[in-house]
Structure formats: C-alpha cells, structure tokens
Structure 1
Amino acid sequence: MSKPPDLSELAVPGARIAVRVTPRGGREALTRDEAGAIHIRVTAPPEDGKANAAVRKLLARALRIAPSRLTLVGGATARDKLFRVDP
C-alpha cells in the first residue's frame, strides 16, 4: 500500500470525521474526492469488527495520530462511518 494522503489538519481533539468504507476492496487505500469526502478501501472482511479495525488503523496513519485516539461513534455495521478524534 502506498502512503495515505496527509490528513493531519483534521486531527483536532473532538473533531468528527465521516468516511465511506469499502470492505474486501482488493487493496488498502485512502482517497479524498473533489468535495473532500474521505473514501477508504480495506482488504479485511466486514466480520467481527475486522474491517472497522483496519479502517481505524489506516485513518489514524493518514491523520498522523495513534489509532487509540480514534473512536467509532456511528456506523459500526454500515459503510458510512463516523469517527471522533479523542485528546
């Protein structure tokens, strides 16, 4: 996987970050479209939280923060997810 884009400007404590996820995406990738929406593809299946864990890890890498600082606050079983950046 190539290095994800730098999203460190979004890593503000309390910020909420919406992402669109594609599990079993064939490869791991994080992209932003022209409107600024974040799309994440992971190879993990959407079973037992595996895809959510992979998304959290990839998003944390792009934000330049520890994965433990990200909390999934919405969309645990949906493709559209909402994460909160913790202090």
Structure 2
Amino acid sequence: MNETDWLTLSGTTARLTLHIQPGAKKTAVAGPHGDALKIRLAAPPVDGKANAALLAFLADCLKLPNRAVTLRSGDTSRRKVVEVQVGGLSAEAIRAALAAG
C-alpha cells in the first residue's frame, strides 16, 4: 500500500480524501488542504449537483470512465472520500493528473 496525506492506493483502487468548495467560478484542483486535497467546483451544492460534478471532474482528469469513480462518504459534507478504480495508474500518475486538472 502506498500512502500520501490525501491518497491511499491499494492494488487497483485509490481512495481520495477531498475538501470541496462548491459554487466557485471554475472547477479546478486548489492544492493540499490539511490531510485532504482541495477542489473548487463551479457547481452549486444543491440536489447533488456538486457531487455529480466532482465525480465527472475526477473521471475526466484521470481519463477514466465515470463508473470508475464512486463517492464513498461525505454526501452532504465538504469533506468527501472518493474511491477510484484506477487500473494500472500509479500514485505518482494520479497526483500528476490531478495537479494538471
């Protein structure tokens, strides 16, 4: 298992601990936020729109299908844990893809 503060990689599954700021001007990765990765989302926190936008943004950054990204906890919270089926991506590749996101 390979760990950083916000990323835990175990086999083909990665767990991302995220701090979300909904209602931002544009969707982007903001950088570390304590032990989480901060992501600003343009979507409002209404009717699950921010969660859907987050999952689609992560899938797009990692070039994975939407079904590979699942919200595990934090449905109504700013702090979320997302599970990603990363296939053969390394922790370094995941960090680089999100940094470029």
By the TM > 0.5 criterion, same fold?
Answer: yes
Q: Which has the higher contact order (CA 8 A, sep 6+)?
A: 1
Contact 2:22-2:43 at 8 Å conserved across structures: yes
Equivalent residue, structure 2, for 1:50: 49
CA distance in 2, matches of 1:22, 1:35: 14
Deviations 1:28-68 (A, max 9, x none): 11132387742111111111110001111111222221121
**Cα distance in structure 1, aligned partners of 2:26 and 2:49:** 15
1:29 alignment partner in structure 2:
28
Given the superposition, is the C-alpha separation of residues 46 and 35 from structure 1 closer, same or farther in structure 2, using an over 3 Å criterion?
A: closer
| Contact kept in structure 2, 1:30 and 1:58, CA below 8 Å | no
Give the root-mean-square deviation of aligned CA atoms: 2.2
Q: Tell me, yes or no, if structure 1 residue 85 matches structure 2 residue 84.
A: yes
Larger strand share, 1 or 2: 2
The 8 Å contact of residues 19 and 33 in structure 2, kept in 1 or not, is answered as no
TM-score (norm 2): 0.65
Q: For structure 2, which runs of at least 5 residues remain unmatched after alignment?
A: 1-8, 88-101
Aligned length: 77
**Runs of 4+ residues deviating >6 angstroms:** none
TM-aligned CA distance change 1:44 to 1:15, over 3 Å: same
Percent identity between matched residues is 36
Structure number with bigger Rg = 2
